[in-house]
Structure 1
Amino acid sequence: MYLYLAYFHLATVAPAFLMGTFLLLTRKGTSIHKQFGRIYMVLMLLSAISSLFMEAQLGERLLNHFGLIHIFSFLVLYWVPSAYFAARNGNIRRHKGNMIGLYLGGLIIAGSFAFMPGRLLHGWLFL
């Protein structure tokens, strides 16, 4: 079961990374930005939710399940709706801050941990 979750998680994270990079580098406020942004947010939510079902493999665990990396999952669950409603309400500054936090924390930092020795993705790619 763990491998299915890992595959699903990777299937949501990989396109989210590409889409998030595209969104950060292109013009904001366009219809394509809004459409891709919604898809990106759904992918990030699915990624965060799926990761919560994946038991921590390294380090200390809370409730014999959650590890430190799960902090990013909970942050994503906060950042996505916060960014969405900020944009809907015209608070572009807050939207921008949340989206940058989502990209850096949810993809870059958490993703970097996924490549560390002892982690599943490291084993798939480097062993």
Structure 2
Amino acid sequence: MSFSFAPYLSSDIIVQTHAAAATVALVLGPVVIHRRRRDRTHKVAGYVWVLAMAFAALSSFGITDFAMIGPFSPIHALSVLVLWSLWVGMRHAFRGEIAEHRDALRSLYYRGLLIAAAFNFLPGRVVNRMFFNDHRELGYVVLALGLGLVLADVLRGRIARKNRAALAA
């Protein structure tokens, strides 16, 4: 098993720019989410993250390799959801609704970006070929782990809400 940038470099420019924006968002997400203080660094990194997410979502409409309905595939529905979630999350921030802002954008990162990233490991995708060219079926393992992490996050959120409700009662 060996890593190679060749599948990425030989892909269409729209795929390359989409992947670059998604990678920026993937790397910056934890920086923005886990900063203790909401200072200038948080704001600048947050705006870069939002722009990277918006570019990744918008550029996905130029990728039609897995088209099922005209030029679109189910992943394009996720792109629409990403754009909506960005708008909702930023609207909350501008209104000073910080808890709602945090919840919307954390959810977008953990349940949107990480799910999309995990699906990029499916056999036949560029990311799968970059990491697992000789053993492409290993992409299913990455997908299962990614979806497991998202499920754990969902369950953690439900438990936390239930605990907060119990304390409030």
Shift of 1:50: 0.4
Greater RCO (Cα-Cα under 8 Å, separation 6 or more): 2
RMSD (Å) for aligned C-alpha atoms: 1.6
Shift of 1:124: 2.6
Aligned to 1:78: 84
Aligned counterparts of 2:31 and 2:19: Cα–Cα separation in 1: 18
- In structure 1, the partner of 2:24 is 15
- Provide the C-alpha distance between the structure 2 equivalents of 1:77 and 1:67, rounded to a whole number of angstroms: 16
Name the structure 2 match of 1:47.
56
Tell me whether 1:105 sits opposite 2:114 in the alignment.
no
Where does structure 1 differ by over 6 angstroms across 4 or more consecutive aligned residues?
A: none
Matched, 1:96 2:102: yes
Aligned residue number for residue 121 of structure 2? 115
- TM-score (structure 1 length as normaliser): 0.88
Calculate the TM-score normalised by the size of structure 2: 0.67
Decide which of 62, 72, 79 is 2:69's aligned counterpart.
62
Gaps of 5+ in 2: 1-10, 134-169
Runs of 5+ consecutive residues of structure 1 not aligned to the other structure:
none
The Cα shift of 1:114 comes to 0.6
- Using the TM superposition, name which of 81-90 and 19-28 deviates more: 19-28
Secondary structure at the aligned position of 2:117 is classed as helix
Secondary structure of the corresponding residue to residue 115 of structure 1:
coil
Deviation string for 1:79-125 (max 9, x for gaps)? 11111111010111221121012102331001100111122221232
Identity score, percent: 28
Aligned to 1:33: 42
Q: For this pair of structures, how many residues does the alignment match?
A: 123
